[in-house]
Copies of this chain bind each other. A is one copy, B any other.
């Protein structure tokens, strides 16, 4: 049910010809109210795509009526022509919905530097708006896929209200302060300021902790829309917990579908002086090509873990670090401990635990292994 699981939403996904395969490539999600609260986070990349430049302005007043999304082209670094296409499609959706263009978020995904044919985009917007339905969430989720092998959706039930969501993303997957394309909906009554606080809390421990390939996208957008159609106002804590559950669920779906990956790796850093230290150390390991290639080869090479830890500014004693892989403490006090031969890396799920012994904070960063298939997919993406 995706984004149309909560009351007060319609969605659609159509094929506008932006993908040469003829697959669904344009989606629209509309909030029918009675409330139109919203919150969004965007990529921290300073090179932002045209839809991000547009949508950053749209969301400032906390009101969003509709989200337009297309795959088949990121509309990034396409010049003034590209920005005009974004503006034109917002106008077109607004005309159908009966709102102003400044209440329409636009998201695009696909190749950077590729100009989306404006006529096709506008025709797609019209077709999607005409197809809007209260059960259109699944088609919308399929229309935003690029190299994704599966559509990603989530529903979390509250007490008389719910959260629905969809996500796309399989590469260029190292969001910071935002991520990929994600639309979340809820029929709970949540004023825009609370929605913003809940969304930032939820993304900070979900999408922001995902680092599949160290590459930050130019188009990452997460938007949450609240219709208030349930008439129920949950506590901010309850709503934040449910939104965090939804975001984490979608983040794990992204992790499992990462391009070419054979392993999902959870890097947990314990004993950190601060949560920031734990995240910095976790991310440094998650970005080590040597470590990631070793996991692909089912090689419990903990030396590469320590070599990554040593590149950070986190508080720790280099002579007193512990490392476990899949629960086997292969390194204690920065010296060999349990035999690495006891670490079985044949399964898809891999855990790495590093104890910095410098405090009580902890964090988990999720990543994937570096595989032949990753190299293959990404060496042939635009050709």
Contact = CB atoms under 8 A, between A and B. Distances in A.
Contacts of A289: 213-215, 289, 370, 374, 378
A370 B374 CA distance: 10
B218 A307 contact: yes
A78 interface: yes
A113 B46 contact: no
Given A112-B303, A112-B304, A301-B382, A375 B331 contact: no
B214 A287 contact: yes
A171 B111 CA distance: 31
User: Which secondary structure dominates chain A's binding surface?
Assistant: loop
A263 to B, nearest CB: 11
Interface stretch (A129-137, A247-255, A333-341): A333-341
A236 interface: no
A20 interface: no
Nearest to A48: B318
A287 B211 CA distance: 14
Contact of A331 (B113, B298, B301): B113
A309 interface: yes
A289 B304 CA distance: 18
Interface in A265-306: 287-290, 293-294, 296-299, 301-304, 306
A309 B48 CA distance: 11
Interface string A210-226: 00011111100000000
A383 B297 contact: yes
A216 B378 contact: no
A383 to B, nearest CB: 5
- What number of copies of this chain does the assembly contain? 2
Contacts of A21: none
A76 interface: yes
- The residue in A77, A298, A301 that gathers the most chain B C-beta atoms within 10 A of its C-beta is A77
Contact of A307 (B215, B311, B336): B215
Contacts of A334: 47, 77, 79
A79 B335 contact: yes
B296 A379 contact: yes
Contacts of A307: 45, 47, 112, 172, 215-218
A317 B112 CA distance: 18
A116 to B, nearest CB: 12
A301 B372 contact: no
A372 B374 CA distance: 9
Residue with the highest number of chain B CB atoms closer than 10 Å, among A293, A304, A330, A334: A293
Question: Which of A44, A81, A111, A311 has the most chain B CB atoms closer than 10 A to its own CB?
Answer: A311
A74, A113, A218, A294, most chain B CB atoms within 10 A: A113
B379 A299 contact: yes
Contact of A335 (B78, B215, B333, B371): B78
What 8 A-B pairs come out closest when comparing CB atoms?
A112-B303, A297-B379, A47-B310, A79-B335, A293-B378, A45-B310, A46-B310, A113-B303
Interface of A: 44-48, 74, 76-79, 81-82, 111-113, 115, 171-172, 213-218, 287-290, 293-294, 296-299, 301-304, 306-312, 318, 321, 330-331, 333-336, 370-372, 374-376, 378-383
17 contacts: A47-B306, A77-B303, A77-B335, A112-B301, A112-B303, A112-B304, A112-B306, A112-B307, A215-B307, A215-B308, A218-B303, A289-B374, A290-B378, A293-B379, A297-B378, A299-B380, A374-B375
